[in-house]
């Protein structure tokens, strides 16, 4: 693999967030199967949902979580585009490379996928209670996480944050091209005798 291919792969992994959402989706499918198995082993029945009640809750949760994911990502794209037009186009990669953005979108997708998986496991006579409980809990966590997500994105779209990020990126480039150059400049001058 050439250095250019390695650079492009690193850049892709740092900037793209779709693969993170897909990974969270796969994790949700695995979590649904594990939670369903645990529910069958323990016979957990804390809330005692009926099949109709569980279907109603999970159907409403699934549709609202899909709307929630679409809204969150659309608002993110709109905010980033507006900020890029006023500040710099580099802000787009900066926002999409933030770990908080990737994790937040991933958790939203996890909650949606988990809810769909739980909805598919409800039978006519048996409701996996633990599965429904975890689904409702993940949806509630997603709603709370959304407010933190909005605060993080808005804080990182401020001009001071953008300038700090540009400075850090510029400093990394200088350190890679001229290793040790700033250390020599900041060291005390030597005396010539």
> CA–CA separation, 151 vs 58, rounded Å?
28
Counted residue by residue, the chain has a size of 193
> CA–CA separation, 75 vs 147, rounded Å?
13
**pLDDT at 184 (0 to 100):** 56
Q: pLDDT truncated to tens, each residue of the chain (193 aa)? A: 887 888 888 878 877 778 888 999 999 999 999 999 999 898 887 788 888 999 999 999 999 899 988 988 888 888 777 777 776 666 677 777 778 888 888 999 999 999 999 998 888 888 899 999 999 999 999 999 988 888 887 787 777 777 787 778 778 777 777 777 666 555 666 665 5
**pLDDT at 102 (0 to 100):** 86
**pLDDT at 189 (0 to 100):** 60
- Of the candidates 106, 84, 86, the one whose C-alpha atom is nearest the C-alpha of residue 95 is 84
- Of the candidates 178, 166, 167, 113, the one whose C-alpha atom is nearest the C-alpha of residue 139 is 113
> CA–CA separation, 22 vs 29, rounded Å?
11
Location of structure tokens 């949606």: 112
**pLDDT at 159 (0 to 100):** 72
pTM of structure: 0.76
């Amino acid at each position: 693999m050439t250095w250019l291919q390695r650079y492009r792969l690193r850049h892709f992994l740092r900037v793209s967030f779709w693969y993170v959402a897909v990974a969270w989706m796969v994790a949700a499918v695995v979590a649904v199967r594990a939670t369903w198995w645990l529910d069958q082993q323990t016979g957990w029945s804390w809330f005692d949902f009926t099949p109709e009640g569980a279907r109603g809750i999970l159907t409403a949760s699934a549709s609202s979580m899909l709307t929630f994911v679409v809204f969150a990502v659309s608002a993110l794209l709109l905010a980033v585009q507006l900020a890029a037009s006023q500040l710099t186009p580099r802000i787009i990669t900066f926002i999409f490379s933030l770990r908080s953005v990737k994790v937040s979108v991933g958790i939203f997708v996890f909650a949606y996928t988990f809810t769909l998986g739980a909805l598919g496991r409800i039978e006519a006579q048996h409701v996996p209670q633990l599965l429904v409980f975890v689904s409702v809990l993940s949806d509630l966590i997603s709603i709370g996480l959304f407010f933190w997500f909005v605060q993080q994105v808005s804080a990182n779209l401020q001009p001071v944050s953008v300038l700090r990020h540009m400075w850090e990126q510029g400093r990394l480039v200088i350190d890679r091209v001229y290793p040790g150059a700033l250390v020599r400049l900041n060291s005390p001058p030597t005396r010539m005798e």
